[in-house]
Structure 1
Amino acid sequence: MTEGSNLSRAKLSTRLAFIAAGFGVACWAPLVPFAKTRCHLGDDTMGLVLLLLGAGSIVAMPLAANLCARFSSKPVVLSGGVGLALILPLLSIVSSPIALGVALFAFGASLGSLDVAMNLHAVDVERISEKPLMSGFHALFSIGGFLGSGVVTAFLSRGIAPSSSTIFSSILLVSLIVVALPRMLSNREREKQPLFAIPRGVVLVIAIVAAISFLVEGALLDWSALLLVGEHLVSTAHGGVGYMLFSIAMTFSRFAGDSIVARFGNRIVLTSGGVIALLGLCGLLLAPVAWIGLVSFVFVGLGAANIVPILFRLAGTQHAMPKGLAVAALTTAGYAGMLTGPAAIGFLSKGIGLHNAFWFLVALLACVPLFAKYVTVENAD
């Protein structure tokens, strides 16, 4: 088999892994109301239980990076993907808060392991290809998310039981992993790595920028509808339109992102993307009418879309730390940002109001273009 054929197979395997990860985690979203009712949980308790998903991811990521270095990404993708598929049906039947919490922690650990392994594989595939591919890979995660939530929602809307819906979804998920595995590269590291290392140098800054990016996205997910409704820009029934436009714009921009990076380079795209997202967020907060606020979501999505893929590329090519530890640090910081973002906005909104709390996001997002030159200095185009 030719080298070009092996590379094409490796690209396909990476795309399938990203679709599988997005599909698996999105299958859980439509099940949340059922789990809440079945376990007799209030909103506050359910919020605490949901944090265990993120906690499981954060705990598993450093271990996953170490295992990838020792054994390659392939067994970690297998265990993470199969773990998601096995635990997903459990999430549809557990009936106690403790059981739900344990299942969510294990689900998060599987997701975190898969996330680290597929991104490490993506870094190596992109390096061998000698052209940008990361944005396209991350776009397929979003596509997988649309498919996962869509499939489960379609089953549930037809009266099919959650347990049956998740079993079918798990079969699809395992099928994606099984097709991907034989095509993956053997990307084990020759040098042994520590289980955990504190981010340092450029990796620390990359992790901070990742945390900011994920934090902003998490805050938009949980609070943007309330902001639009609270500012009397849209009705309650249309509160979710803003985040929908943000997601569509982000997916579209990621599909175009690789060609844009190939033409202009990491630094320019990272800087301009941060500025565009920043202007979009300011436009949202200053919007006098609905259409300006909604268009602002599009700008935020277009600008923010390629920030995280570029950060993964930079983490995989820097020289301050082993790439596995750097990718794990980025992913861990990102998940931590997504977990803490909504809580931080909620805390601030109690004291200064939701509108003013969103200006906190503006201040954080301004760090992206400010740090762009530093994080790309070792990868100057």
Structure 2
Amino acid sequence: MSSFNSQRLALSVFFFLSGFNFASWTSRIPTIKAALHLNEAELGTILLAMPISSLIGLPLSGWLVSKFETRIPLTVGFLLNSLCISFIGLATTPLALIMALFLFSLSMRVYNISINTQAINLQKQHAKKFIGSFHGLWSTGGIAGVGFTTLLVSLEVTIIPHLIMVSAISLAATLFYFRNLVRGDQAPASDKKGWVKPDAYILYLGLLVFFAAVCEGGMFDWSGIYFQQVIGEDIFTAGYLIFMTCMAISRFGSDKIIDRLGMPTTYVLSGLLISSGIGLAVLFPSFWPAMVGFSMVGFGAAAVIPMTYTLAGASKTYSPGIAISVIVTFGIVGMLIGPPMIGYLAHAFNLKVSFVAFAVSGLMLLPISKLFFRMRGQASQ
């Protein structure tokens, strides 16, 4: 196998594992909520451990990706993340769960920058676009994680053996595939800064990722509870599964969709699909309308993050590693602020009303993308 192919395969495995790990624990949130006797506000407060940890890890992850080859923080981050999956399953008190989620988010913060920097560097070696397929594999891993959870829930397998199995799979794969990751991609000496103030170009892209990630993060953590409490389904992973499936299908075709429609149109279409899908699920809270609505959200959210990472990699101001570090910060904060926000809104009003926040986030993609492309057009004149 050529070096390029082996690197692409290894990176594909890590994208898949990232989605698998994340979906495995988030699809168990209804189980955790019931076991610890948490209300929506208490669950939202516990989930705040993740954005706080992500922000604390910001200078560390930025320093690591500028100091070392990205395969080093990627591997270390994945190993710690894999162990934290078990810690989440073993948590028997809210404090233990907060600590486990804190470490889980910190490790995810470290490897997220590295994995996307590797993807951009690998893309630069090949004329044909394939970066969207990596994010498709993340979603495919999420489908596998939700599907695995659904199977174990139906078999009445408890959360502890479930998440320990996930940890073991991820640890073994990480140790086997890390040797084939891209090497020699340290930032140039003139660009060894752990954090930079984003210019207008990066700031607009960061906001696009933020609002897309609010939708994604909220859907990951609350779709199961929505189907359990609002829709009244015993197999509460159904909505999560259809959301992840449609996101994966769309991401595998996102490169062709973007080439055909153009990025400006794709952003607009994405925002409209997200807001319309949420509106359908909220206005008609029964099984099939919610399934169709969640499908629309999956299709709408799919292209935004990989498309925005590609634009970030084309920054003329920062190296890909630094640009992705800033963009990923917006994305992780958005993905991890969404869930606690929904918890507080659900406690103050109700869960159905709280989902309107996702529709608003989807609509925000329209004006921000318009401002970005207008600014980019003026800069190129």
**Closer, same or farther in 2 for the Cα pair 1:239/1:31, shift >3 Å?**
closer
Q: How far apart are the structure 2 equivalents of 1:276 and 1:37?
A: 32
SS at match of 2:331: helix
Q: How many residues align?
A: 374
Q: What does residue 192 of structure 2 align with? A: 193
Match among 299, 304, 322 for residue 301 of structure 2: 304
Does structure 2 retain, via aligned residues, the 8 Å contact 1:132–1:261? Answer: no
Does structure 2 retain, via aligned residues, the 8 Å contact 1:152–1:169? Answer: no
1:105 partnered with 2:115: no
Q: What does residue 217 of structure 2 align with? A: 218
What is the root-mean-square deviation of aligned Cα atoms in Å?
Answer: 3.6
User: Offset at 1:220?
Assistant: 3.9
User: Offset at 1:165?
Assistant: 4.4
User: Offset at 1:164?
Assistant: 4.9
**Structure 1 residues 82-231: aligned runs within 5 Å:** 82-151=79-148, 164-186=161-183, 187-191=185-189, 192-221=191-220
1:81 partnered with 2:78: yes
Q: What does residue 255 of structure 1 align with? A: 252
Q: How far apart are the structure 2 equivalents of 1:35 and 1:209?
A: 31
Q: What does residue 68 of structure 2 align with? A: 71
Does structure 2 retain, via aligned residues, the 8 Å contact 1:62–1:328? Answer: no
Q: What does residue 328 of structure 2 align with? A: 331
Does structure 2 retain, via aligned residues, the 8 Å contact 1:152–1:166? Answer: no
**Deviations 1:94-117, CA, capped at 9 Å, x for gaps:** 545444432321122112212111
SS at match of 1:299: helix
Match among 265, 269, 282 for residue 268 of structure 1: 265
User: Offset at 1:270?
Assistant: 2.5
Name the aligned partner's letter for residue 188 of structure 2: R
Name the aligned partner's letter for residue 364 of structure 2: C
**Closer, same or farther in 2 for the Cα pair 1:371/1:130, shift >3 Å?**
farther
**Structure 1 residues 307-326: aligned runs within 5 Å:** 307-326=304-323
Does structure 2 retain, via aligned residues, the 8 Å contact 1:206–1:315? Answer: yes
SS at match of 1:72: coil
User: Offset at 1:55?
Assistant: 2.8
**Deviations 1:128-185, CA, capped at 9 Å, x for gaps:** 2233222211121122223335446656766777555444432321232233322221
**Closer, same or farther in 2 for the Cα pair 1:196/1:275, shift >3 Å?**
same
| Structure 2 residue runs without a partner (length 5+) | none
Q: How far apart are the structure 2 equivalents of 1:180 and 1:65?
A: 24
**Closer, same or farther in 2 for the Cα pair 1:13/1:62, shift >3 Å?**
farther
| Structure 1 residue runs without a partner (length 5+) | none
Identity fraction in percent: 25
SS at match of 1:129: coil
**Deviations 1:237-265, CA, capped at 9 Å, x for gaps:** 47764444322211111111122224444
**Closer, same or farther in 2 for the Cα pair 1:158/1:62, shift >3 Å?**
same
Q: What does residue 369 of structure 1 align with? A: 366
SS at match of 2:211: helix
Could you say which structure has the greater relative contact order, defined with CA pairs below 8 angstroms and 6 or more residues apart? 2
User: Offset at 1:283?
Assistant: 4.3
Q: How far apart are the structure 1 equivalents of 2:215 and 2:163?
A: 30
SS at match of 1:115: helix
Q: What does residue 24 of structure 2 align with? A: 27
